A = this chain, B = another copy of it.
Amino acid sequence: MDHGGEYAPDEKVELLGTWSSPYVFKVIWALTMKGVEYEYVEEDLRNKSGALLSLNPLHKKVPVLVYRGKPVAESDVIVEFIDEAWKDRGGGGRILPEDPYERAMARSWVIFARDVLSPPIWKWFTAPGEEEQEGAREAAVAQLLVLEEELGRKEFFAGDCVGLVDLSLGALAYVIPIYEEITGTRIVTEERLPCLSAWMGRFLSSPPAKDHLPPLEKLKLSFLGERTL
């Protein structure tokens, strides 16, 4: 294998995913940024294929990226693999910054999004009572304000272009408006979160995302189902 060099552009790349998964879209956006062509294989998670079970026996989840017949699982691992395997592709440079400290900061924000930000957002959306919903909403806004400060006047979290943190937060840009519509409450308002609010629109029309979004009406119906389960 070519150590540290460019992976061959003509090698076959497959992505096993499911249409509603934000983790799958994160990988799709990363592949799009690098201009890597791939074959997309839709998985039904209620009836997992033999291919998925044999390619990801440890976690049995999507996304799975298959390169030269060899699988990579877990979206965060896949995105770093894409950035390292096709490191000079896509014109826009790296998904992660070059500097070690800046790379560490980007990875920290990914962990923040997963461990600190997502739980209260999910709780807000699924809370059974009004009081509990309001508490979760305030907890979520408190963490969104941390992001607001980090983003500041930058176009994207990575600066002028989309980077790792933008990809990890990207699904929020279409998920939050749907959650707001279903709950009849607002969480990202221009008044309280002006930078983040503008970033959401900017991300949705950015090159990796604009042509690669899930069907939003279908997603809304799916969320309605999850909420009433």
Contacts and interface: CB of A to CB of B under 8 A. Distances in A.
A105 B72 CA distance: 7
A221 interface: no
Nearest to A68: B101
A55 to B, nearest CB: 12
A98 B67 contact: no
Contacts of A74: 107-108, 111
B104 A81 contact: yes
Interface of A: 1, 3-4, 7, 58-59, 67, 70, 72-74, 76-78, 80-81, 84-85, 98-101, 103-105, 107-108, 111-112, 115-116, 146
B85 A101 contact: yes
A84 B100 contact: yes
Interface SS of A by simple majority: helix
Copies of this protein, total: 2
A101 B1 contact: yes
A58 B107 contact: no
Given A73-B108, A80-B103, 5 more contacts: A4-B98, A72-B104, A77-B108, A80-B107, A81-B101
A78 B104 contact: yes
A158 to B, nearest CB: 15
